[in-house]
Structure 1
Amino acid sequence: MKKLLLLPFMLLLLMGCNVNDGKLTFSEINPEKASATVKDFITQMEINEDGTGNGIYILNVKKDKFYLFLSQEFLDKGKSFGSIDVKEEEDTLTIYLNERSDKGQENQVMQKLYEIHRPKDYEFLRVFKNGEETHIQTVGA
């Protein structure tokens, strides 16, 4: 009898370990608390910036996870980081980025880092900034 109860418990435990399976999720990550690999990528991208890029970087770390890094180059003059939304539309993963006016902002953030878990591979990755389609400056792996 105990063996019969143990099996459902183990299955429930295993299913609980894969919370993100099958779901597209994203969350903001503190760059200082990121892994060494992510920190190295961010440092390299900042070193390579020359003021002519758009400040949008992607780092692929696993099949189901990547990081989106936004540097100061992303921001237009007088703007600060705003909202982000990530959506899947059939075979396309779309990232929507927005800026906001930085009037009255005292502690302006210099960069943003997001961890994005994707449930599958996508044929296309599209990025929009303030409603206009743009490109990713660099993709690292």
Structure 2
Amino acid sequence: MKKLFFLIFVLSSLLVGCAENTVSYSEVKQEQVNENVKRFIQSVQGSQDIERNGIYKYYDKAHIQYLYVTQDFLSNGKGFGGLDIETDKDSMHIYLNENDEPTEDTYWLYRIKSDREFTYSKVYKNGEETYFGTIGVPGN
């Protein structure tokens, strides 16, 4: 009986260790986030940088990030087509897309939760790699 329990334990450990890394995301409203995230968004909104691309990332807590996308991301006459996230061994790839339907929304805010940290985080606009306008972290 002890051997059976040991075998089950070993197999369970192997299955858990080999599980695919997971990343989940959901759209949230500014009213639903903590004060640190709200302050970050306010600082981004107050920025006068002409090189703004409308893509901002905030690292909130371990394994929790926020992606803030403004209309500065959109080309004239385009609408926001959505978000997709893929991961590999050491990178998180965030894909943002436009579509041909103009939108009335002025921003999109996503909470991204992962089961681990990534060495690299890359963002793509319509399949082409771009950059984060600003990346923020909580102050001490």
The TM-score by the shorter chain falls in which range? 0.7 to 0.9
Partner of 1:35: 34
1:1-141 correspondence to structure 2 within 5 Å? 23-103=22-102, 105=103, 108-141=104-137
In structure 2, what is the Cα distance between the partners aligned to 1:97 and 1:27? Answer: 14
Which digits, 9 at most, give the CA deviation of each residue in 1:77-99, with x for residues without a partner?
A: 11111111111111111001001
Identity in percent: 35
Q: Which amino acid aligns with 2:99?
A: R
In structure 2, what is the Cα distance between the partners aligned to 1:133 and 1:49? Answer: 23
Note the residue ranges of structure 1 that are not aligned, 5 or more in a row.
1-21
Q: Report if the CA contact (8 A) 1:51-1:73 is conserved.
A: no
TM-score by length of 2: 0.78
In structure 1, what is the Cα distance between the partners aligned to 2:93 and 2:56? Answer: 14
Note the residue ranges of structure 2 that are not aligned, 5 or more in a row.
1-20
Q: How many corresponding residue pairs? A: 117
Q: Which amino acid aligns with 1:64?
A: H
- Where 1:48 maps in the other structure, the secondary structure is coil
Q: Which amino acid aligns with 2:30?
A: P
- Structure 1 segments (4+ residues) deviating >6 Å: none
Q: Which amino acid aligns with 1:35?
A: N
Question: What is the CA distance between 1:52 and its match in structure 2?
Answer: 2.5
In structure 2, what is the Cα distance between the partners aligned to 1:49 and 1:84? Answer: 26
Q: CA RMSD for the aligned pairs?
A: 1.4
- Where 2:22 maps in the other structure, the secondary structure is coil
Question: What is the CA distance between 1:46 and its match in structure 2?
Answer: 0.7
TM-score by length of 1: 0.77
In structure 1, what is the Cα distance between the partners aligned to 2:69 and 2:114? Answer: 19
